Amino acid sequence: MCSLAQPCLRRAQHTPNFFFQDATLLLIASGKLEMNSSTREISITDSASLLLVEPGTWANLHKTPAGPEKRFRSVFLTFSPELLERFHRERQSADQQSLESVRHTPLDGELKSSLQQLCASVSSAAISDERLRYRLLDLLSALAERGVGYGRHQAPGTAGRVRLLLSEAPAHPWTARETGRALAMSEATLRRRLAQEQVRFDELLIDVRMHHGLMLLQSTDWTISRIAEASGYLSRARFAERFQKRFGYLPSAVR
């Protein structure tokens, strides 16, 4: 239904071409975020507003630590396509057209309370899936009432379907043949369709793993070796090489 991460950085960080796979809600708790997407540039320096990012958005991110603790801290909450579709279906929402890929709204008291309760629910094993779903839908309703809801889910292309599948298990030793079988097509068909979208399977797999590794570096205290393994690499050196090629700096520079 959702995923929650709370990145904490002590160093300024530039992330080129970060991919927001799912609908994402961002709260900057400390520090400064600058986001440059294809449609607009946004700079947020406090926790007085929420940032909404449509699924499938690419953006360059600049995160700068600040404040008394000299940290960059944020709440990174994503909503699954299935949850968004249920939300629109139950509200009988009309298709929303020409939504900007990145938008923001003031964080008023009601929104803040709903978000805090939701974050606590995601982290609690005592909360049932039904109650968590209710709180997610409640937050989406509060956003929609303020005119900043997400658009209806659009069926992804082949690259999007592959990315979604790979992201469910980044550490798995995926091959194009196995991936094609999971998507009910031959390896040749998979590669042909990806080529039509100007994407290669190997590059897509690496990108999914690097995004996963980046989020773990930002939001956990795991060792780099453990993060490398969770991202599909038995060799820390190989993971670091791939990571530096993708983002321009070594994993150790994130912390």
Cβ atoms within 10 Å of 178's Cβ, excluding its own: 13
pLDDT tens digits, 43-61: 998 788 899 999 999 999 9
Q: How far apart are CA 48 and CA 26, in angstroms?
A: 11
Fold of 2-145: Jelly Rolls (2.60.120)
Calculate what percentage of the chain has a pLDDT beyond 70: 98
Answer whether 2's CB lies under 8 Å from 86's CB: no
Query: If you average pLDDT over every residue of the chain, what do you get?
Result: 92
Report pLDDT digits (tens) over 170-199: 999 999 999 999 999 999 999 999 999 999
What's the confidence (pLDDT) of residue 98?
53
pLDDT digit string, tens, across residues 7-16: 999 999 999 9
Average confidence (pLDDT) over 88-111: 78
Query: Does the pLDDT at position 67 exceed 90?
Result: no
CB 28 within 8 A of CB 86: no
- How many CB atoms within 10 Å of residue 28? 22
Domain 158-254, architecture per CATH: Orthogonal Bundle (1.10)
Q: Report domain extents, the chain.
A: 2-145, 158-254
- pLDDT per residue over 207-252, tens digit each? 999 999 999 999 999 999 999 999 999 999 999 999 999 999 999 9
Structure tokens, 121: 């629910």
How high is the pLDDT of residue 156? 84
Q: Are 183 and 144 in contact (CB under 8 A)?
A: no
Looking at residue 94, its pLDDT comes to 52
Q: Are 11 and 65 in contact (CB under 8 A)?
A: yes
pLDDT reading at 205 higher than 90:
yes
d(CA 151, CA 149) in angstroms, rounded, equals 7
What pLDDT shows up at residue 46?
Answer: 76
Instruction: For residue 96, name the pLDDT band (cuts at 50, 70, 90).
Output: low
- Whether residue 160 is predicted with pLDDT greater than 80 in this model: the reply is yes
Say which amino acid occupies 12.
A
Query: Is the pLDDT score of 83 beyond 90?
Result: yes
